[in-house]
C-alpha cells in the first residue's frame, strides 16, 4: 500500500502539510537547517532540544534558540528538563516566541542529560513524566507532543506502558524512536513497537528511526499505521534526501550542492554570528560534500581555511560549471521568503549575531 506523503494531517489544531517531519537534532537543527528542511518538503520542522533550566535562568544562548522565522511554520520547539513547574514555565516562553507546537524530549540518551533526570530517564519514572506532560499541557494553548525512546534498556517495552499515560496527561501526539537509550544509534529501530503503540493510543504517532529512503518511509507508514515519519541523520547536509522521500529522485549537481552549502553558511552566520558559526559549520562540510560528490581531500582543505569567507570562495571556485554555483545561489536567495522573525525580548547580541 502506497501512502501519500503529500497528504496533510493534524496535531491538535495545527495542520501539517506533509507526512514528513524533520527531527530535532542537538548541534544540527539551527534555524537555517529548519528553513532548508521546509523548502525541501518537510511538513513539520523541530528545534534542537532547549534546556528549560536555561530558559528559566534567561541564559542568553538558550534564549537564542527561540528565534523563529516566518517561513519555518509549522514549527515544534523541543524542551527538556525534569521538573514540572520549570518545564511549564519554559513551555509558556516557547508559546510566546511563536512556536506552533511544544515538544517534550523523553528520548535523549546522552548521559549528561539523563543523569539530571531528563531525556530518556523520564521513561523510568512514569509519575514524573506524566506530571511534566500535565503541567506543560495546562500551561499552554498549543498542542503538546512527546518524543521518546522504547526505554532505557535493550528490549525494553516501557514506551508501550507509558505512551497511553502520556496521552491521558495531555499529549496530542507521540513520536517513537524504537531504540533503547543504551543502543544510542546502533542496531536497528524496531518499528513493530511503533505499530503496537499506534494501536494503543488515539492520537497521531510519528515513526522515527532509520527513515533513510522513500521505500523505507513507505514501508514504515504502511506497516505501522503511523501518521508520519521523522527523518534525522539522513538529512544532515543532505536535504535532497527529504525531496527523494517525497518522490523526487534527481541527484543534485555539484553546483546545487555548493549553492545550498553556501546559503546554509550565510544563514547560519546571520543567526549565530561568524565566531560561533566557524566551528559549528565544519561538520557540515563533510556531510554536504561526501557521498561521492567531491573528492575526500576537498573537505579537509576547507577545514584548514582560516575564515568562512575563504571557505565560501573556495567552494564557489570548485563548482563553476553552467549554470554555476553563483547563479544557483543567487536564485535560491531570491526565492527565500522575506519576513520578520518572531523574537522574545532578547538581548541585542543574540539577534545581532554575537
Rg (CA), the chain: 20
Cell 535493550 identifies what position?
154
Co-location of 126 and 199 in the same domain: yes
Q: pLDDT tens for residues 44-79?
A: 999 999 999 899 888 878 888 888 988 999 999 999
Q: Give 14's pLDDT tier (boundaries 50, 70, 90).
A: very high
What pLDDT is stored for residue 339 in this prediction?
56
* Residue pair 133/169 in contact by the 8 Å Cβ criterion: yes
* Residue pair 77/94 in contact by the 8 Å Cβ criterion: yes
* Average pLDDT over the chain, rounded to an integer: 92
What pLDDT is stored for residue 145 in this prediction?
98
What pLDDT is stored for residue 348 in this prediction?
30
Decide if pLDDT at 344 tops 70.
Answer: no
Decide if pLDDT at 243 tops 90.
Answer: yes
Co-location of 90 and 183 in the same domain: yes
Q: pLDDT tens for residues 304-335?
A: 999 999 999 999 999 887 677 888 888 888 88
Q: How many domains does the chain have?
A: 2
What pLDDT is stored for residue 338 in this prediction?
65
Of 216, 245, 274, the position where a domain reaches its end is 245
Percent of the chain at pLDDT exceeding 90? 81
Of 218, 245, 272, the position where a domain reaches its end is 245
What cell was used for 123? 521513561
325 assigned to some structural domain: yes
Co-location of 134 and 172 in the same domain: yes
Decide if pLDDT at 354 tops 90.
Answer: no
Co-location of 292 and 208 in the same domain: no
Co-location of 306 and 276 in the same domain: yes
As a whole number, mean pLDDT of residues 243-250 equals 90
Co-location of 190 and 284 in the same domain: no
Q: Give 342's pLDDT tier (boundaries 50, 70, 90).
A: very low
**Domain extent at residue 307:** 254-338
124 assigned to some structural domain: yes
Co-location of 79 and 226 in the same domain: yes
What pLDDT is stored for residue 346 in this prediction?
38
As a whole number, mean pLDDT of residues 176-201 equals 96
Co-location of 207 and 258 in the same domain: no
230 assigned to some structural domain: yes
Catalytic pick from 46, 108, 130, 159? 108
Of 245, 278, 299, the position where a domain reaches its end is 245
Q: Give 2's pLDDT tier (boundaries 50, 70, 90).
A: confident
298 assigned to some structural domain: yes
311 assigned to some structural domain: yes
Co-location of 112 and 162 in the same domain: yes
CATH of the domain at 195: 3.20.20.70
- Burial bucket for residue 175 (CB in 10 Å: 0-12, 13-18, 19+): buried
343 assigned to some structural domain: no
Co-location of 332 and 185 in the same domain: no
What pLDDT is stored for residue 337 in this prediction?
74
As a whole number, mean pLDDT of residues 225-251 equals 95
Q: Give 230's pLDDT tier (boundaries 50, 70, 90).
A: very high
Co-location of 218 and 132 in the same domain: yes
Please say if 159 is a catalytic residue.
no
Q: pLDDT tens for residues 75-98?
A: 999 999 999 999 999 999 999 999
3 assigned to some structural domain: no
352 assigned to some structural domain: no
Co-location of 231 and 298 in the same domain: no
Amino acid at each position: 500500500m502506497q501512502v501519500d506523503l503529500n497528504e496533510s494531517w493534524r496535531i491538535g489544531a495545527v495542520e501539517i502539510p506533509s507526512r514528513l517531519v524533520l527531527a530535532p537534532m542537538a548541534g544540527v537543527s539551527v534555524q537555517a537547517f529548519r528553513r532548508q528542511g521546509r523548502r525541501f518538503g518537510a511538513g513539520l520542522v523541530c528545534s534542537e532540544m532547549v534546556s528549560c533550566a536555561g530558559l528559566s535562568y534567561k541564559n542568553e544562548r538558550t534564549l537564542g534558540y527561540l528565534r523563529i522565522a516566518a517561513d519555518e511554520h509549522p514549527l515544534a520547539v523541543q524542551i527538556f528538563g525534569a521538573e514540572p513547574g520549570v518545564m511549564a514555565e519554559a513551555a509558556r516562553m516557547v508559546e510566546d516566541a511563536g512556536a506552533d507546537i511544544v515538544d517534550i524530549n523523553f528520548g535523549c540518551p546522552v548521559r549528561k542529560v539523563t543523569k539530571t533526570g531528563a531525556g530518556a530517564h523520564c521513561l523510568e519514572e512514569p509519575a514524573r513524566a506524566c506530571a511534566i506532560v500535565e503541567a506543560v499541557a495546562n500551561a499552554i494553548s498549543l498542542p503538546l507532543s512527546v518524543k521518546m525512546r522504547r526505554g532505557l534498556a535493550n528490549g525494553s517495552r516501557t514506551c508501550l506502558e507509558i505512551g497511553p499515560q502520556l496521552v491521558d496527561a495531555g499529549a496530542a501526539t507521540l513520536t517513537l524512536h524504537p531504540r533503547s537509550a543504551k543502543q544510542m544509534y546502533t542496531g536497528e529501530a524496531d518499528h513493530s513497537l511503533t505499530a503496537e503503540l499506534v494501536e494503543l493510543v488515539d492520537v497521531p504517532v510519528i515513526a522515527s528511526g532509520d527513515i533513510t529512503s522513500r521505500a523505507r518511509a513507505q514501508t514504515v507508514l504502511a506497516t505501522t499505521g503511523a501518521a508520519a515519519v521523522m527523518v534525522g541523520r539522513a538529512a544532515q547536509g543532505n536535504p535532497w534526501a527529504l525531496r527523494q522521500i517525497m518522490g523526487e529522485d534527481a541527484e543534485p549537481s555539484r553546483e546545487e550542492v555548493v549553492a545550498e552549502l553556501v546559503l546554509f553558511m550565510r544563514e547560519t552566520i546571520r543567526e549565530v554570528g561568524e565566531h560561533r558559526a566557524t566551528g559549528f559549520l565544519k561538520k557540515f562540510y563533510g556531510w554536504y560534500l561526501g557521498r561521492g560528490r567531491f573528492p575526500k581531500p576537498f573537505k579537509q582543505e576547507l577545514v584548514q581555511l582560516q575564515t568562512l569567507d575563504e571557505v565560501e570562495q573556495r567552494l564557489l571556485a570548485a563548482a563553476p560549471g553552467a549554470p554555476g554555483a553563483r547563479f544557483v545561489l543567487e536564485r535560491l536567495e531570491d526565492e527565500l521568503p522575506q519576513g520578520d522573525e518572531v523574537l522574545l525580548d532578547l538581548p541585542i547580541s543574540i539577534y545581532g549575531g554575537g
